[in-house]
């Protein structure tokens, strides 16, 4: 499944004539009125990849993914975007920290996955065999690719969309006061999680160099234990 989602979904005949796709899985829930068209929003703003939840990966499943990716970068430096987001993914020891966009929610301009850069990257990973021998997930592959090949302003955090995927809830802050969401933001921690906070910091640093991008409070609790909760909206 992961190999198919990473390298073949966008080539499926049913998607051949589509410009965008929104991945929606069984058992997910949406908690807010979406009063605009995300596809139009992305097209008007030149956005190639949209996400809602960022988490850390189970590192035992991707033991050699980062080293293989670094090899690809060394061989193809011309493919890396000028204002890329690689710093978001790299830890202090120049290793992969595990942050990735949860691909169970992703809205994508399919020209990104169909691009020469993405296809070369997937083919390189596929030849390495990690999809079979380690269970490389499509989520870290998509995230690494977006961080490498897209500029920071081509990636968008849809934080205004309330979303639940077993067993993680993302509920917009102040949702109960906005009047268009029926989730309890006090039970949602991903917005203050390490990966989300770091993403915002790095994005600001890349797009606004020289501007302070201070450290925010980071929730260090067990994000995976969050449960969906339908509130009263008031």
**Residues with active-site annotation:** 106
Q: Which of 80, 92, 89, 88 is nearest to 59 (CA)?
A: 89
DSSP run (H or E) holding 100:
strand 99-101
The DSSP letter of residue 9 is G
Q: Which two tokens stand for residue 147?
A: 């961080």
Residue with tokens 């009125």: 33
How far, in Å, are 53, 57, 60, 171, 180 from residue 167 at the CA level? 12, 15, 21, 13, 22
Q: Which two tokens stand for residue 197?
A: 């906070």
Does residue 112 contact residue 149 with C-beta atoms inside 8 Å? yes
**Beta strands at 49-51 and 155-157: parallel, antiparallel or unpaired:** parallel
Does residue 152 contact residue 84 with C-beta atoms inside 8 Å? yes
């Amino acid at each position: 499944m992961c190999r198919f989602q990473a390298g073949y979904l966008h080539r499926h005949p049913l998607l051949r004539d589509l410009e965008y796709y929104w991945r929606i899985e069984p058992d997910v829930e949406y908690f807010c009125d979406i009063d605009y068209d995300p596809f139009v929003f992305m097209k008007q703003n030149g956005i190639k990849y949209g996400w809602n939840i960022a988490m850390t990966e189970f590192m035992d499943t991707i033991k050699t993914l980062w080293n293989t990716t670094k090899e690809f970068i060394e061989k193809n430096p011309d493919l890396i975007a000028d204002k890329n987001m690689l710093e978001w993914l790299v830890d202090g020891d120049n290793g992969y920290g595990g942050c990735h966009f949860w691909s169970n929610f992703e809205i994508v301009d399919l020209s990104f996955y169909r691009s020469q850069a993405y296809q070369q990257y997937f083919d390189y990973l596929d030849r390495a065999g990690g999809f079979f021998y380690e269970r490389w997930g499509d989520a870290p592959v998509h995230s690494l690719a977006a961080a490498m090949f897209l500029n920071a302003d081509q990636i968008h955090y849809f934080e205004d969309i309330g979303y639940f995927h077993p067993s993680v809830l993302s509920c917009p802050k102040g949702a109960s006061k906005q009047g268009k969401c029926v989730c309890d933001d006090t039970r949602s921690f991903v917005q203050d999680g390490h990966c989300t906070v770091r993403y915002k910091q790095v994005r600001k640093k890349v797009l606004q160099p020289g501007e302070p991008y201070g450290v925010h409070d980071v929730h260090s609790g067990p994000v995976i234990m969050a449960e969906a909760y339908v509130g009263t909206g008031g």
